[in-house]
A and B are shown apart, each in its own frame.
Chain A
Amino acid sequence: MVELFDVVLPIISLVAFSLLTLPVFKAIRKSHRKTALTLAWFSTVFAVTGAAVANLTLKYYGLPSPQPFLNITVTDAASATLSSAFMIDGVSVYMAIIFTALSAAVFLYSVFYVDSSQRPSERYYAVMLMLTAALIGGVFSGDLLTLFIFWEAAAAGSGFLMVYKKTPAALNSALKYLVMIIIASAFVVFGLSLVYGLTGTLNFWAVKQALTTLADKHLLLLAFVFIAAGYAIEAAVVPFHFWLPDAYAAAPASSAAFLSALIDQGSYYVLIRVLVFILTPPGVLDWTFMLAVMAALTMVVGNLFALIQDDVKRLIANICVADVGYNLVAITSVTSDGLRGNLFFFLVGGVTTALAFMTLGLINRYGFKTLEDFSGLGRKMPLASLALFIAALSFAGVPSTGGFMAKYLVVSAVVNSKFSWLAIILVLMSVLQTAYLFRLVNYMYAKKPKDETKIKEPFKLLVPIFILVAIIIIVGVYPNIVLDLIEHAVQQFPLIP
């Protein structure tokens, strides 16, 4: 039996560890072996959190017949529709697992990147742990309000990650980001209040039930427009995407990796949960055409802006926008195939962008920022260049990397739906993407460097980078490992009433 305790355990433990990080780092600071102790501390954190998530997973799948929507309310069942609720299903379990894993990978990198041997920055780590807790809370939310609280905490909190270095550019972009987030929250709150007025509840289940029987859908349309616009701003769907490239490019590499691997995927999750699971057509509203148009726009704009970038970090940040578009393509199909594509894309997109940002963080340290600077990098920094090359292959969707499987799943989900034209736009954009990524590869391997000095690459930073490279290749060659995990969610999808 899954108890409330099992669900909140990962969240509570992460929050507790986040608060404990502050005193623990005071102790670590006095010690001589700062890096080793920092690593030991975070290993403990993620071992405990991982165990908590694993406990929940095993208990949930150990149920005699796993229900598609396992609802756990904080108060007793009588007033369930008003209560704050948690919900477990295949999707949320999967998301919790990948959030924990990706967060651990980003932490391993951050420990070396922000150089804990000099000045262990406990607040930075504490914020990242808190954000992970908020994200996991978000995926287990069972009603729109709980989801709103957790998700806004994650979204607004990530502003701290952007300003970590306090450069003018970072402050500027973080301000822009926070303004956008606040506008988005206001939209969502307004939409939610309308939904509550219409249905008298915010519980996913109950809202869905109420909406299908709703006679007059005018107000619902208004509510939906506000909610969708709010979440679209946070997911950086074109035309609400302008904050993203600025924010990611100005943030330090470890923050950018965290933002792209976790926060970004979290924002897609929210979109999926609200659009696919709650407002599923044809019962409620037909939003798919509008979303298909936005998906096409997002892919085109993201890739075109990436094409004209000279700064490599901004280039990757624009790919993040394009990735939003690919994810939306899978959402528009509203089928279990689309869901499979989405969930697979979450992992692969997260890992690939994190890999790219981590590698760029390493490369940027030596002052290489623009495409011109990258000339001959393949000879100067062979290992870092190889990692970036693999990330480029995965972005471009070349087989034997995870990116291929992800694009294949998305394309095959949409090609047989009523938006088969989206598949054609997707493959054309994929070609464009290959072109500008190979321009980068061309700079790295074909051009002559200004000076031939070889750079000694820091081994410690390469460890987390190559862990991610290994994940991308393993997932690309033998995707079964992840697909098996996703399959539970996919099987449940048609069972949802």
Chain B
Amino acid sequence: MSFALLLVFLLPALGVPFVYFAGKKSPKAAAIIVALLAVVNIALVLSTVPSILGSSDHRYVESYNWIPILNSEFTLFADGISVSMAVITSVLIVVAALFSINYMEGKKNLAVYYALLTLLSIGLVGVFITSNLLLFYFCWELMLVPAYFIVGNWGYRDAYKAAFKLFIFTHAGAVFVLLGIGAIYMVTGATDMFTAQAALMNVPDVAKWILLALTAGFAVKMAVVPLHMWLPDAHSEAPATMSALLSGVIISAGAYAILRLSLGTVFPAVAGTTVGIDFLHGLTIFGVISAFFGSFIALVETDIKRIIAYSSIAHMGYVMFGLSLFPSAAPEVGGTIAITSAITGTVLHLINHAVSKGLLFLSAGSVMHQTEARDIREMGGLAGKMPFTAVSSTTAALSIAGTPPFACFISEFLIFVGAFEVIKADDFYLVPTAFMLIATVVSLAYSLRYTSRVFLGQPKNGGEKTILDVPNWMKAAMAILIVFVIVLGIWPTFFVDLINTVSFV
């Protein structure tokens, strides 16, 4: 189909009113419509895979008329990385919708909730499948408004305050992205990232400022220390489904954007110069700081969701470290920057982290839903009462800790393999890599602490209260992610092969 990706945009957009009116009658029906829309999106995105593998540049492109005056087309494209990210995003949306059926039961205004979830999915998937910078920015900001209301309205405690922080911080980041995009347009006259890339090669002086503005903007969304302040609040006060999407996909979108726009589009213009190398080294340092900072705070936090939120910061540190291993040599004229195992590992880590962290947040949500507690010091011995949740939590926590055979092991392994390849050429990376290896130990520590405090040991006060395991829809939703975490850990070949077809420049 030559309009598959257009449908990915249109179906949820047209679906919003249906979801809303279905939700007025029965929230369950709305949830199932949202899930079905996302399943159709997965099928549509996957339908482009044969053309990607078949074409010479491994890219599938659709283009429609949009704003010709600004040289801006409604360009949708898919390559290995986009497809992988879009598929995993849609999987998480399916899971979030199904999980909501029981989880959100009895809450008010669920019709609006599901309509907002649909709206959110347009932006979330759209970010990964467009190459037009303006359209990219549209999708980038389209994530924000639904996220604000979902976190604020259906969250815990001081939810609107957290939502406010989320909106202001990420919007502040986004205006720097806007500055970068505007500059790209003015310098090159192009709003398509691939056209702009070639044109930027001639203006390295401007390119370095654009690179800085874009990266700073994206790093806010990615919640790299010191731009992480919004994340712990937003992720811990949001409803579990939204936390799963925030931690799984939205911050990954920041990482994806750095890879695609900062590194893939603008960086080649300064590659090979000292500016370019310093830039990559800077990313490394921020990555290491984030990994350490996140891991250590996660080790001492006592709030069940804040532990996971800080672990997300730590994992974005790994991703940042992985991104900083981007090939720093200048591409030859007309040549390409081939993908390295570090970059493959980084993208794979985004996918694996999305499913693992999604699962972990949903499990934590299940615990909070059933026990109405959130301090891990008051918990314990839940394994006997909530066996399914205990299994899902343990799977997710072990994956987060990087234990084989679960998903995150493979991708962390690939990042480290890539790091050693790079060290051969640039020994700057030696010390950071050593630090990153230490950080993985800490991540194992907080994961084990989390599972043992919550699920093992003796029940604390309130032990006489009967606590049941989660209802079936929540189990089904988590089961999907458990399957993904294990399958991706044992057989990541599908995504690895897809990602390896990508080349930059």
> Are chains A and B native binding partners rather than an unrelated pairing?
yes
Binding site for B on A (CB under 8 A): 337, 393, 396-400, 404, 407-408, 411-413, 415-416, 423-424, 427-428, 430-431, 434-435, 438-439, 442, 445-446, 478-480, 483-484, 487
Partner of B164, one of A397, A415, A438: A438
If the complex has contacts A399-B137, A430-B175, are A442 and B168 also in contact, measured as CB distance less than 8 A? no
A398 and B145 contacting across the interface, CB-CB below 8 Å: yes
- Against A, the Cβ 8 Å flags (1 = close, 0 = not) of B329-371 are 0000000000000000000000000000000000000000000
Residues of A within 8 A of B137 (CB): 399, 404, 408
Q: How far is the CA of A407 from the CA of B475 in the complex (A)?
A: 46
Question: A442 to chain B: which residues have CB within 8 Å?
Answer: 160, 164
Tell me the complex Cα distance, A479–B67, Å: 7
Contact A480 B141 (CB under 8 A): no
Within 8 A of A (CB), among B130-187: 134, 137-138, 140-142, 144-145, 149, 152-153, 159-161, 163-164, 167-168, 171-172, 175-176, 178-179, 181-183, 185-187
Q: What are 13 sample pairs from A and B whose C-beta atoms fall under 8 A apart?
A: A398-B144, A398-B171, A407-B178, A408-B137, A427-B176, A428-B175, A434-B172, A435-B168, A445-B153, A446-B152, A478-B66, A483-B69, A484-B69
Q: Which of A393, A427, A439, A483 contacts B145 (CB 8 A)?
A: A393
Asked whether any CB of chain A lies closer than 8 Å to the CB of B467, the reply is: no
Residues of B close to A400: CB separation below 8 A: 138, 141-142
Q: Is B68 an interface residue (CB 8 A)?
A: yes
Separation of A267 and B145 alpha carbons in the complex (Å) = 34
From A412, A435, A439, name the one whose CB has the most chain B CB atoms within 10 angstroms: A412
Are A416 and B138 interface neighbours, CB within 8 A? no
| Choice from B70, B141, B183 contacting A483 with Cβ under 8 Å | B70
Q: Which residue of A lies closest to B186 (CB)?
A: A416
Residue of A nearest to B179 (CB): A427
Contact: B134 with A434, CB < 8 Å? no
Beyond A404-B138, A439-B164, 4 additional contacts (C-beta under 8 Å) are A400-B142, A438-B167, A446-B159, A446-B160
B477 to chain A minimum Cβ distance, whole angstroms, is: 28
A residues near B178, Cβ cutoff 8 Å? 397, 407-408, 411, 427
**B167 contact from A407, A428, A430, A434, Cβ within 8 A:** A434
CA distance A315 to B178 in the complex (A): 25
A397, B175: Cβ atoms closer than 8 Å: yes
Are A480 and B171 in contact, with the CB atoms below 8 A? Answer: no
Evaluate contact between A445 and B149: CB separation under 8 angstroms: yes
Q: A411-B182, A445-B149 are in contact. Are A480 and B68 (CB under 8 A)?
A: yes
Decide: A480 and B69 in contact? CB cutoff 8 A.
Answer: yes
Interface of A (DSSP majority class):
helix
B183 touches A415 (CB 8 A): yes
Nearest CB of chain A from residue B230's CB, rounded to whole Å: 13
Write out, one digit per residue, whether chain B residues 190-220 have a CB within 8 A of any chain A CB (1) or not (0): 0000000000000000100000000000000
Chain A residues with CB below 8 A from B164, complex form: 438-439, 442, 446
**CB-CB under 8 A for A438 and B138, given A415-B186, A445-B153, A446-B152:** no
Query: In the complex, A446 Cα to B237 Cα: how many Å?
Result: 14
A398/B141 in contact, CB under 8 A: yes
- Verify A424–B69 contact, CB threshold 8 A: no
Residues in B neighbouring A435, C-beta threshold 8 A: 168
In the assembled complex, the Cα of A484 lies from the Cα of B69 at a distance in Å of: 7
A431 touching B183 by the CB < 8 A rule?
no
Chain A residue nearest to B159 (CB atoms) is: A446
The CA-CA distance from A438 to B152 in the complex, in Å, is 12
Given known pairs A438-B164, A445-B149, the reply for A399 and B138 (CB within 8 Å) is yes
Residue of A nearest to B140 (CB): A399
> Please, which residues of chain B bring their CB within 8 A of the CB of A397?
175, 178
Q: Are B69 and A438 in contact (CB under 8 A)?
A: no
Which residue of chain A lies nearest to B139 when distances are taken between CB atoms in the complex?
A399
Of the candidates A337, A393, A408, A416, the one whose C-beta lies within 8 Å of that of B187 is A416
Question: Contact: B182 with A423, CB < 8 Å?
Answer: yes
* Distance between Cα atoms of A404 and B160 in the complex (Å): 24
Task: Say yes or no: A399 contacts B186, CB within 8 Å.
Answer: no
Q: Is the CB–CB distance between B69 and A408 below 8 Å?
A: no
User: B69 — which chain A residues lie within 8 A by C-beta?
Assistant: 480, 483-484, 487
- Report chain B residues within 8 Å CB of A423: 179, 182-183
CB distance from B266 to the nearest CB of A (A): 14
Closest chain-B Cβ to A383's Cβ sits at a distance in Å of: 14
CA distance A397 to B172 in the complex (A): 11
